[in-house]
Chains A and B, each alone.
Chain A
Amino acid sequence: DGGITQSPKYLFRKEGQNVTLSCEQNLNHDAMYWYRQDPGQGLRLIYYSQIVNDFQKGDIAEGYSVSREKKESFPLTVTSAQKNPTAFYLCASSILAGQGTQPQHFGDGTRLSIL
């Protein structure tokens, strides 16, 4: 079955530590996205990528970094510069806008907490 796999499901970060969230997709989608969801809130875009070796900042990129070395993978690093990292992080993928109108597919999410 095609889909998006996020790991780990739960992650704890110590003060001053960088942590990396994994996102892998086997849907052959060109575009991938990272969103942050705070309790009782909608999703906000952190970073997105529309092709390998290219990515763009979203609305709340400060304190985060990404890479896109392979089409299937789009890991997100939450750096120590992100002072309030506790949230639910969702990875998504999609075809490109000009290829059709299928909705973004989402992974099951990673819940990040501060120790």
Chain B
Amino acid sequence: ELKVEQNPLFLSMQEGKNYTIYCNYSTTSDRLYWYRQDPGKSLESLFVLLSNGAVKQEGRLMASLDTKARLSTLHITAAVHDLSATYFCAVVNKARRAQKLVFGQGTRLTINP
């Protein structure tokens, strides 16, 4: 059974600091997604990671994937208040036709001035 674990689950940080969110998964998968969710809102796609060593960057966020370690990281550089949200990683579970996703618990990120 595929399990996805994120840590930390809660993260409070100051503006201007750097930090990393970790996503571990238990079985082999050929793709991993990162999503952002604002309170009471839907999920917004951030990154799609497909291969070992893949690195994607958008603004102050950078995601990477190590398929051998079954680990993805989401790195936040020089955090700003607008990045406050909950971040989820999700891994495809035995993709055949439909893309069955297994989500991590989410990391609630609060960035303080």
- Residues of chain A touching chain B, judged by Cβ–Cβ distance below 8 Å, are 30-31, 33, 40-45, 48-51, 56, 58, 90, 92, 94, 96-98, 101-109, 111
Contacts and interface: CB of A to CB of B under 8 A. Distances in A.
A50 B48 contact: no
Given A48-B98, A48-B100, A106 B42 contact: yes
Contacts of B48: 101-103
B50 A101 contact: yes
Interface of B: 4, 31, 33, 35, 40-43, 45, 48, 50, 88, 90, 92, 95-106, 108
A40 B104 CA distance: 11
A97 B99 contact: yes
Contacts of A94: 98-99
Interface centre among B43, B102, B108 (most CB of A within 10 A): B43
A45 B97 contact: no
A42 B2 CA distance: 14
A63 B74 CA distance: 36
B41 A97 contact: no
A104 B42 contact: no
A30 B97 CA distance: 9
Contacts of A43: 43, 88, 90, 101, 103
A103 B45 contact: yes
Nearest to A95: B99
Given A106-B42, A106-B43, A50 B98 contact: yes
Q: Considering the complex of A and B, which 4 residue pairs feature the smallest CB-CB distances, nearest first?
A: A97-B95, A42-B103, A103-B45, A50-B98
Contacts of B45: 103-105
